[in-house]
Amino acid sequence: MTSIIEKRRSLHKNLATQKLRNNTLKLQISQLQALANIGATTCMVAHEINNLLTAPATYAALAISNPQDKPIAEKAMQKTVKNCQRAAKILESMLSLANSQENDKQNIRPVILIEEIFNALGRDFAKDNISVEIQIPDDLEVWAIPIQFQQVLMNLILNARDAMLSRGGTLKISAEDKSDSVCLQICDTGSGIKPADLENIFDLFFTTKKAAKKSGETSSGSGLGLAFCKKIMDEHHGQINVQSELGKSTVFKLTLPKAQSGNN
């Protein structure tokens, strides 16, 4: 009898110890998850800022080697000011993404965001034999956080350009107004994606650009762009999908909620 009572006591004690251990482990997991989020966000912020530094650096170098050319110096300064302002906005918006705070979403016109992206990028696509077609109604609006949605578009545009660098091609950006959502498509006629890679491309750090060449310079991808796009689209309750034919073309489809009436 005594032994049964003792056994029960010991079992209860054991259970209490396991529960305590379990709670400690849960706490550690949530702390590690928070750290992992900070790590991933830091990488993403660095990645996006890096995208913006290329243009001012290129123009500034041109201005230094052409000291008499005032228009180039002016352009270098304009690019620097504009891209620094954008970088500051990205920092603010990415940090709030890390803390899972809901920034103010707005009704925004994708045409404007896309125009700004092409102004922020340093190199003209035509120089790499890439023609750009934009087929988006001027007044079409989506419901999104402007700077974040712009980062999605910028990453997709940069990937499309990378895929067409070796032989040129066409980048087509179009939009369709559906009944309760807006669907944007970013299509390129570049290298395409291997079927086996398609399921990995949204993973953090997945890249096939380890030793690729970009406009004559050796460059490498960090595999952050699409992971970042996916995170932003999820936060927007939107979707990002891809279809690709190896050696032929790739289409990224973005679905976002429609603009909200009375919220401008």
Ligand X SMILES: Nc1ncnc2c1ncn2[C@@H]1O[C@H](COP(=O)(O)OP(=O)(O)OP(=O)(O)O)[C@@H](O)[C@H]1O
35's CB contacts (< 8 A; 6+ apart) are none
Rounded to whole angstroms, the Cα distance separating 255 from 144 reads: 11
Question: 171 near 130, Cβ under 8 Å?
Answer: yes
Query: Please, which residue, 147 or 163, has the CB nearer to Mg ion?
Result: 163
Q: 207 is in the binding site of which of ligand X, Mg ion, none (Cβ under 5 to 8 A by kind)?
A: ligand X
Rounded to whole angstroms, the Cα distance separating 123 from 59 reads: 10
Residues facing residue 213 across a β-bridge: 218
Question: 133 near 119, Cβ under 8 Å?
Answer: no
223 lies in the binding site for Mg ion (CB under 5 A): no
Rounded to whole angstroms, the Cα distance separating 176 from 197 reads: 28
What residues between 139 and 168 interact with ligand X by CB under 6 A?
Answer: 155, 159-160, 163
Rounded to whole angstroms, the Cα distance separating 240 from 231 reads: 10
Rounded to whole angstroms, the Cα distance separating 102 from 96 reads: 7
In terms of residues, how long is the chain? 264
Q: 151 is in the binding site of which of Mg ion, ligand X, none (Cβ under 5 to 8 A by kind)?
A: none
- Least distance from C-beta 226 to ligand X, angstroms? 3
Other C-beta atoms lying within 10 Å of the C-beta of residue 243: 14
Residue 82-121 contact track with ligand X, rule CB under 6 A, x = bound: ----------------------------------------
Residues facing residue 133 across a β-bridge: 172
Q: 255 is in the binding site of which of Mg ion, ligand X, none (Cβ under 5 to 8 A by kind)?
A: none
Question: 240 near 152, Cβ under 8 Å?
Answer: yes
Which residue has the closest beta carbon to ligand X? 221
Q: 63 is in the binding site of which of Mg ion, ligand X, none (Cβ under 5 to 8 A by kind)?
A: none
Q: 163 is in the binding site of which of ligand X, Mg ion, none (Cβ under 5 to 8 A by kind)?
A: ligand X
Query: Please, which residue, 27 or 246, has the CB nearer to ligand X?
Result: 246
Question: Candidates 56-64, 137-145, 154-162, 236-244 — which segment interacts with Mg ion by CB under 5 A?
Answer: 154-162
Pick the binder of Mg ion from 159, 185, 244, 255 (CB under 5 A): 159
Pick the binder of ligand X from 103, 107, 181, 207 (CB under 6 A): 207
190 lies in the binding site for Mg ion (CB under 5 A): no
Helix or strand holding residue 120 (H, E): helix 110-120
Rounded to whole angstroms, the Cα distance separating 205 from 87 reads: 22
Query: Please, which residue, 170 or 208, has the CB nearer to ligand X?
Result: 208
Q: 254 is in the binding site of which of ligand X, Mg ion, none (Cβ under 5 to 8 A by kind)?
A: none
Q: In this structure, which amino acid lies at residue 161?
A: R
225 lies in the binding site for Mg ion (CB under 5 A): yes
Q: Which residues here bind ligand X, judged by CB under 6 A?
A: 47, 155, 159-160, 163, 188, 190-193, 197, 201, 206-209, 221-227, 250
Q: Which residues here bind Mg ion, judged by CB under 5 A?
A: 159, 225
